[in-house]
Amino acid sequence: MSQLPDSRTEPDGSALIRVLSYNIRSMRDDPTALARVISACAPDLVLIQEAPRFFRWRKKLARLARAANLVILSGGGTAAGPAILCNLRATVERTEDVLLPLTPGQHRRGFATAVVRFGSTRLGVLSCHLSLQKDERYDQSGMLLDRLAGMGVDHAIAGGDLNERPGGRAFTRLTEPLQDCWATAPWGGENTWTHTEPHRRIDAIFATKGIEVLGCGVPVGHPGVTEADLRMATDHLPVLAALRIPAS
């Protein structure tokens, strides 16, 4: 498997970054294995789903960030599960945790969002975990697009657990204005669920059209990422993307 390029700033001012999207099941599995997987991927941004939300959730998320040499950017319990971690290469302009309308009988959902800079580039970032219910999920995909459009940036990414395969209504709605990064530049593995017998791609990273996707997929065989750690870390497999963001 070819290697994804390392993060760097290009001579033209564009930024090459790595983005990881990962459902961590509230850190109920092996947090040490989870931190090893994240660290091995060397991400600039981590879009988390199912971050701890209840008792001492901030302390648990901070412990994971510290173990992976990252810091908490936004989200967690205040966004009903989605969160964003980043490395010190990112300069934060603003963050906002968004709670979505609650449908009776369904779980509360939310978005963790931020605007960050890597050198002279500005980037909108959103982490999501969409509903299990198809109509609510479709509505939430529209809210996601509205949120990205309202960030006031030229370039943005979104990632998360969609609870839906490509071709579904919500997934298709997102790919009309956005690039599905795996479909644009497939790399590594495709399917993300389950971790033991992956047969569905329900986790994805999306990017606005001006972003160049250099590769995206499950980091199976990536240096430092072992099959044992992927099995122990959580019930989903992560998605890793290398992206070139144009200078603003």
SS3 track for 99-122: ECCCCCCCCCCEEEEEEEEECCEE
The answer to whether residue 192 sits within a structural domain is yes
Distance CA 212, CA 20 (A): 16
- What's the confidence (pLDDT) of residue 91? 97
The answer to whether residue 4 sits within a structural domain is no
- What's the confidence (pLDDT) of residue 1? 66
| Alpha carbon distances (Å) from 14 to 11, 106, 117, 119 | 7, 42, 11, 8
Cα radius of gyration (the chain): 16
Distance CA 137, CA 125 (A): 19
Report residue 64: phi and psi, to 5°. -65, -45
Q: Tokens at residue 99, please?
A: 């709670």
Chain-centre distance for alpha carbon 54 = 21
- What's the confidence (pLDDT) of residue 105? 87
The domain in which residue 154 lies consists of 14-245
The answer to whether residue 55 sits within a structural domain is yes
CATH of the domain at 108: 3.60.10.10
Give the residue ranges of the chain where pLDDT is below 70. 1
The answer to whether residue 212 sits within a structural domain is yes
- What's the confidence (pLDDT) of residue 2? 83
The answer to whether residue 116 sits within a structural domain is yes
Distance CA 241, CA 71 (A): 19
Exposure letters 86-101 (e unless 16+ CB within 10 A, then b): bbebbeeeebbbbebe
How many CB atoms sit inside 10 A of residue 127's CB? 31
How many CB atoms sit inside 10 A of residue 103's CB? 15
Any idea what the Cα angle at residue 85 is, between residues 84 and 88, rounded to 5°?
135
The answer to whether residue 224 sits within a structural domain is yes
* pTM of the complete model: 0.98
The answer to whether residue 190 sits within a structural domain is yes
Q: How many structural domains compose the chain?
A: 1
Q: Tokens at residue 45, please?
A: 């941004």
Tens digits of per-residue pLDDT, 3-57?
999 999 999 999 999 999 999 999 999 999 999 999 999 999 999 999 999 989 9
